[in-house]
Structure 1
């Protein structure tokens, strides 16, 4: 009877030692997938801002400067040069030429 309990404990220990690294690997993969999805989201937001301001700057450069200065989203940093609009959002940088 005592040997049976010992075998059960060894089997449980082996299963736990196999399950913990697998769980850690799954958590790491999920975290990197989440970071990648967040980068994609920020890239899409920055791209839309840059392209929208580029179209506006083609039609009315002064208005584009006003809109960039008063942009409602504080996470977005907008720089307008002579022919380029650069949008920074978290780790993403998008530049668009508008001339």
Structure 2
């Protein structure tokens, strides 16, 4: 009986082993695929907004970001393209 009590007392004093986190290869691959897909999906939207803020020379060249954003492009597109009429017609 004393043996069982002693063993139980010693067992309670032991520190629990820390579990090592294993990096599972399939999780790394899954995250790589998800991040790659996200970048592929976001790139056209980034390019569209970036090109809309460029001058014509920058947009037809190899620039990725505009040197100085041309916010007036949106105002010109709204008035020249008659977007207000089409917008209110669809609402």
**Fold equivalence (TM over 0.5):** no
Q: Which has the higher contact order (CA 8 A, sep 6+)?
A: 1
Q: If the TM-score is normalised by the length of the shorter chain, which range does it land in?
A: 0.3 to 0.5
Per the normalisation by structure 2, the TM-score is 0.35
Higher strand share: 1
Per the normalisation by structure 1, the TM-score is 0.33
